[in-house]
Amino acid sequence: MRLWLTGAAGFVGRHLARRLMEDGHEIIGTDLSADPSGRWTGLDLRDRPAVIAALAEARPDLVVHAGAISGPMLARGEPALMFDVNVTGTLSVLEAMRRAAVPRLVHFSSNAVYRDREDRLPVGEDWAIGKTDPYGASKVAAEAIVASYAASAGIDAWMLRIASIYGPGRTSPYLVSDLIAAGRTGGSVVVTDERSNMRQFVAVEDVVEAVAAAVGTPAGGCVPVNITGGEYLSEAAIGAMVQTHLPALRLDVVADKGENGDGAIGPLDLTRARDRLGYRPAIPIAAGIARLVGAA
């Protein structure tokens, strides 16, 4: 198939483009800045006329929309920017799809859309969404746009509610990289135990496999689906995994550090991902950490 990929230069986008080309797909990539070698073109998704023109020229069979601000740490203190990129950008993509009659979409959403679930029972896709923090709210709004265009324009859409992604090539700050960096220098990291919010990570390779499955499988409507690594761990437990490789790491374990982590929810239920996409995470976080420590 001919695929139009937003966020092609990003952490996940680079891995994904390689995987989809291995499957025989033709990739037309875009990102905010163009690649000098021509692997992807420069396109600001907030520029709706430019997006409409680019998609009309590309005429893809399917859009993979991965271009967005991918976490709250990347626009902290700039809620207007968060909404502008994640909401306006998504609206541009869906309107361009409608005009060009592109029939299918794989949309990158997030587990950050879910409302808190203090009982920590498993969270399926029918659990309530609606967050008030800028990142979570921007992803909820983007899902509403996708659902609206799916209903009105007949677009077949997967909305992948993805947990925190880690792996080789990630450059934005996050817990695992902070732990590894501190372990190499004998530094200390403040982590919470099981009394606080738990963490859910997923290896970038597992995310790529989930997207490849979604590309190859029509959703039959507008369908949200959880994608995670299948583990539900405290920060202290993840820190202990890093300590097995970097014993100089010091952990300052506290009950609460005033952050929401991955949200006060239970483990993401992967039943739909397994049944509809054949998705089964293959990389436990302990193995992923070992690989990252060895590669750095």
- Does residue 189 have a pLDDT over 70? yes
pLDDT in tens, 89-122: 999 999 999 999 999 999 999 999 999 888 889 9
Q: Kindly state whether residue 80 falls inside one of the protein's structural domains.
A: yes
Rounded to 5 degrees, φ, ψ at 118 are -65, -25
Is residue 291 located within the same domain as residue 213?
no
Strand-pair category, 250-254 with 188-192: parallel
Query: Which pLDDT value is given to residue 264?
Result: 78
Q: Kindly state whether residue 32 falls inside one of the protein's structural domains.
A: yes
- Does residue 182 have a pLDDT over 60? yes
For the chain, the domain total comes to 2
Q: Kindly state whether residue 71 falls inside one of the protein's structural domains.
A: yes
Give the mean pLDDT of the chain.
Answer: 94
- Does residue 36 have a pLDDT over 90? no
Is residue 253 located within the same domain as residue 158?
no
Give the range of the structural domain holding residue 287, as residue numbers without chain letter.
166-199+231-262+283-295
Is residue 32 located within the same domain as residue 127?
yes
Q: Could you give the CA distance from residue 140 to residue 135 in angstroms, rounded to a whole number?
A: 9
User: For the whole model, what pTM was predicted?
Assistant: 0.95
CATH number of the domain to which 14 belongs: 3.40.50.720
Confidence of residue 74 (pLDDT cuts 50, 70, 90): confident
- Judged by average pLDDT, the poorest of 36-40, 149-153, 179-183, 261-265 is 261-265
pLDDT in tens, 128-147: 999 889 999 999 999 999 99
Q: Kindly state whether residue 278 falls inside one of the protein's structural domains.
A: no
| Higher per-residue pLDDT: 88 or 40 | 88
